[in-house]
């Protein structure tokens, strides 16, 4: 763990405290939004939701990889995923339905979004990312905190989880199997598309 000056560490700890407040609020708001949708539509598109606060060590590593000095200013301005929420859906069409639901809710300002489903990463990673800004009401002011929401299918989540474990266990050995990992992601995408067609077919009956 990197040692910082006491004053700078205090600023970073304050940033993390505000992110903890924001995550609690975001979890509640998303729960209400998705449950009200499920009630109105008589259908729940969500299999499960996971959330986390990125550790300081992980955030510092991200800053270092981007070439930024580790301090509170850069943490605020260059790490937008201290808060991470992952929404895992049943079908491909559900992913876009949930994305639209979040974007059209009016509760958040959309800072950035990346559709890695239509445009997968070179590694084969597939998901939909939204960076939102949400207000937190403190005792004497309102502040704004960024959060990343990832929306993906069960199949995408399976691939991402296994890919992460493979990288963690044998980073050097992966050079030999990168093409196979990428091919697996394409198989996952084809499976999602096939299952979505079957789902749409059942809706027409």
Domain boundary assignment for the chain: 6-204
Which pTM was predicted?
0.91
How far apart are alpha carbons 11 and 18 in whole angstroms? 11
Cα 119 to Cα 53, 114, 186, 192: the distances in Å are 27, 8, 12, 15
Phi, psi at 45, each rounded to 5° = -80, -10
CA dihedral 159, 161, 163, 169 (to 10 degrees): -150
How far apart are alpha carbons 101 and 111 in whole angstroms? 16
Please name every residue paired with 46 in a beta bridge, in sequence order, or none if there are none.
Answer: 89
- pLDDT digit string (tens) for the chain, length 205 residues: 677 888 999 999 999 999 999 999 999 999 999 999 999 999 999 999 999 999 999 999 999 999 999 999 999 999 999 999 999 999 999 999 999 999 999 999 999 999 999 999 998 999 999 999 999 999 999 999 999 999 999 999 999 998 888 776 555 556 667 888 899 999 999 999 999 999 999 887 6
- Chain centroid to CA 118: how far? 16
Q: Which two tokens stand for residue 23?
A: 């995550």
Q: Which two tokens stand for residue 146?
A: 């960024």
- CATH topology for 6-204 is Beta Polymerase; domain 2 (3.30.460)
Closest CA to 135 of 109, 113, 104: 109
Which strand (E) or helix (H) includes residue 130?
strand 128-137
């Amino acid at each position: 763990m990197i040692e910082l000056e006491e004053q700078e560490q205090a600023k970073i700890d304050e940033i993390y405290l505000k992110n903890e407040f924001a995550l609690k609020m975001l979890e509640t708001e998303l729960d209400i939004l998705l449950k009200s949708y499920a009630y109105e539509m008589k259908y729940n598109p969500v299999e499960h939701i996971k959330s986390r606060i990125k550790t300081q060590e992980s955030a510092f590593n991200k800053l270092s990889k981007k070439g930024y000095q580790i301090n509170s200013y850069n943490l605020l301005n260059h790490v937008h995923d201290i808060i991470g929420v992952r929404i895992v859906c049943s079908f491909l069409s559900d992913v876009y339905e949930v994305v639209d639901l979040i974007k059209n809710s009016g509760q958040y300002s959309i800072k950035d979004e990346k559709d890695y489903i239509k445009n997968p990463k070179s590694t084969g990673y597939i998901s939909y990312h939204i960076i939102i800004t949400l207000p937190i009401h403190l005792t004497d002011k309102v502040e704004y905190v960024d959060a990343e929401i990832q929306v993906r299918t069960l199949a995408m989540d399976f691939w991402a989880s296994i890919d992460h474990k493979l990288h963690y266990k044998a980073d050097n050995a992966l050079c030999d199997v990168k093409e196979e990992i990428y091919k697996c992601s394409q198989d996952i995408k084809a499976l999602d598309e096939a299952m979505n067609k079957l789902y749409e077919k059942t809706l027409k009956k």
